[in-house]
A and B are shown apart, each in its own frame.
Chain A
Amino acid sequence: MAPFDLLGNLGTFWTYAVYLLIGAAFGAVLESAGFAKSTKLAAQFYFKDLTVLKVMFTAIVTAMVLLYLSSGLGWMDFDDVWVNPTYWWPGIVGGLIMGVGFIIGGFCPGTSLVAAATLKVDGVFFVLGAITGILAFGETVGLFEGFWNSSFAGRLTLFDWLHTSAGIVVIAVVLMALGMFWGGEWLEERFGGIPRADAPRGRYVGAGILVVLAVAVFFIGQPTNDDRWDRIAGEMETVLADREVQIHPGELLDLIHDNAIKVVILDCRDEGDFNLFHIWDARRVDCHDAIDVSATLHNEPDNTVIVTVSNDEGRATRLWKVLVADSVRNVYILEGGINHWIAVFDPEAVPAAGGDDELRYAFSAALGSSWPAADPDPEEFELEYTEKVVIEVAQAPAGGGCG
């Protein structure tokens, strides 16, 4: 399913050839739209020629509708698509600086490349300026690194932020764009003397198609976690049955003490059991919050290993399925759960009888992670186990847009 693992399938050379081709198409379209001409771009800010607005928002809504349609129909996994992480204030400040640079210089970085390529001298000077500015940024970012990394909200889409569905936002954005085009044409007629009547009628057909597709996105919806699990269930049930992801307590302990790995232990037992005993640094999560938990995990670094834990394996496996269906990488299950953990690290403790996924050890007090077995010393235990954890780096791009 798209997007594809190009590096894995094609190798470096052909992967970069694909990117070169995409870039070439990008450059050709920019040039064909007239974006190598600074006066045409700057006219946007004097309401005389709103080509920038029209091209940009037509492109955004076209790509948006196609992307969310592909995702809704299950042709493309949206979790593997790069969504620029949100840093609110640095984005605003950077955007304002760019706006000022735009009106003074007459280009943006992409269009200036095309202008320079078509021998526009102002484009060449702009590129030289951009090089200077980029160089200056690399040298000065250390002075305000704190601010530059502030107000981080991670992978945040408009519909998550507004707590609504993707379909609603897609429709709203299409309608907003059409409104802006209408207003833009009105302004062009008023300030630029471009009569609206001369514009091709075909644009109404295009607008109609966009609205129909946006409504289709809304009705098709985006795949739920269950839909996503169904798509991979066949493969994943085998992985579970072959015990490829159930890791021994000893392996978990070694991972916790491996400085190169970040371990996130998700304990999905009831609060009572969690308070009686849990592994040191474990995070308690409710199973029905699994999707929200998953959203936070997408922002963890690549060297993160996530381990789900319950008393045996029942609940931990259900949580594992939700996370894996949501494209979280490197998720494992603690083999035999807390009961197995205690049996390994507190051999003196005597288990009682108990049902499936119930805590079979009695505790005299709710000390949580203050019991010795919650934070065992790896030096004390010589444990034999099969290593199962293989760190898989997300296929989704590590650095987007301008990384």
Chain B
Amino acid sequence: MSTSDPARGLRLLSRPERPFWNPYVAGVALGVVLFLAFFITGNGLGASGGINRAIVWLEDLIVPDHIDNTAYLVGIAGGETNPFDSWVVYVALGTILGGLASGWFHGRLKVETNKGPNISVHRRWLFAFIGGALMGYGARFARGCTSGQALSGGAVLSAGSWLFMFAVFGGGYALAYFVRRAWN
């Protein structure tokens, strides 16, 4: 447990690895965080919006004219608008920091690739990239990701968010059989 196992990856800042929380306990904790977010700020949680704004910021540095001429991007970084002037950027940044802190505290901070037994590491990376691209595209399409739409919209009982949530699970289960070799 104490040092890194080359087969499993390199563990940094070695601490004893602890088990995950019971899912119901984690759920209640997540629910309380979500409730407090709404109660204090009126906003829920979000992740993909923060990534989006970071990208648009970068784009604005390189091709500002392009931003000003694309309807969807103008609202985020058109003219003098600062894409970082949005709460969701700080929630996303906090998510990274909180994940890092918790990973370190629980001894789970280690360089590794989680994958099914029948898929090579490189193929897993490729799949992760493709899946991420689809997720990113879909999240913007649906105006929110699992955090911003499903979790936040679900808790306030937004009709569209509930339908969205079933669509996500539907899409996942529909394809699960065909990619079973990647995970099992």
Q: Which residue in chain B gives the minimum CB-CB distance to A128?
A: B129
Given A56-B27, A400-B44, do A101 and B115 touch, yes or no (CB 8 Å)? no
Tally chain A residues at the interface, Cβ within 8 Å.
Answer: 139
Pair B138/A97 contact, Cβ less than 8 Å: yes
The B interface is mostly helix, strand or loop, or mixed, namely helix
Using Cβ atoms and an 8 Å threshold, which residues of chain A touch B114? Answer: 37-40, 106, 120, 122
Given A45-B172, A58-B24, do A399 and B86 touch, yes or no (CB 8 Å)? yes
Using Cβ atoms and an 8 Å threshold, which residues of chain A touch B172? Answer: 44-45, 99-100, 102-103
Using Cβ atoms and an 8 Å threshold, which residues of chain A touch B176? Answer: 45-46, 103
CB distance from B28 to the nearest CB of A (A): 5
Given A31-B106, A133-B134, do A38 and B56 touch, yes or no (CB 8 Å)? no
Pair A24/B39 contact, Cβ less than 8 Å: no
Pair B128/A129 contact, Cβ less than 8 Å: yes
Pair B95/A114 contact, Cβ less than 8 Å: yes
- Docked Cα-Cα span, A173 to B56, in Å, equals 38
Residue A104, interface by CB 8 Å: yes
Residue A401, interface by CB 8 Å: yes
Pair A130/B43 contact, Cβ less than 8 Å: no
Contact with B along A106-142 (1 / 0, CB 8 A): 1111111111111111110111111111111111011
A133 CB contact (under 8 Å) in B102, B132, B166: B132
Pair B153/A401 contact, Cβ less than 8 Å: yes
CB distance from A163 to the nearest CB of B (A): 12
Pair A24/B56 contact, Cβ less than 8 Å: no
Pair A108/B30 contact, Cβ less than 8 Å: no
B166 CB contact (under 8 Å) in A61, A95, A127: A95
The A interface is mostly helix, strand or loop, or mixed, namely helix
Using Cβ atoms and an 8 Å threshold, which residues of chain A touch B95? Answer: 23-24, 26-27, 30, 110, 113-114, 117
List residues 101-159 of chain B with CB under 8 A from any CB of chain A: 101-103, 106, 108-116, 121, 124-159
Q: Which of A26, A111, A126 has the most CB of B within 10 A?
A: A26
Pair B160/A98 contact, Cβ less than 8 Å: no
Using Cβ atoms and an 8 Å threshold, which residues of chain A touch B116? Answer: 39, 42
Selected interface stretch from A79-87, A223-231, A285-293, A353-361: A79-87
Contact with B along A149-179 (1 / 0, CB 8 A): 0000101111111000010011001000000
Using Cβ atoms and an 8 Å threshold, which residues of chain B touch A94? Answer: 138-143, 164, 167
Selected interface stretch from A12-20, A304-312, A376-384: A12-20
Using Cβ atoms and an 8 Å threshold, which residues of chain B touch A108? Answer: 47, 135, 139, 145-147
Using Cβ atoms and an 8 Å threshold, which residues of chain A touch B27? Answer: 33, 54-59, 62
Residue A21, interface by CB 8 Å: yes
Pair B152/A134 contact, Cβ less than 8 Å: no
Pair A96/B167 contact, Cβ less than 8 Å: yes
Pair A19/B41 contact, Cβ less than 8 Å: yes
B140 CB contact (under 8 Å) in A106, A141, A166, A395: A141
Pair A101/B134 contact, Cβ less than 8 Å: yes
CB distance from A62 to the nearest CB of B (A): 3
Please provide the 4 A-B residue pairs with the shortest distance between their CB atoms, ordered closest to farther: A105-B131, A99-B171, A23-B94, A401-B148
**Further contacts, 4 of them, CB under 8 A, given A55-B30, A134-B137:** A97-B141, A113-B47, A117-B100, A153-B160
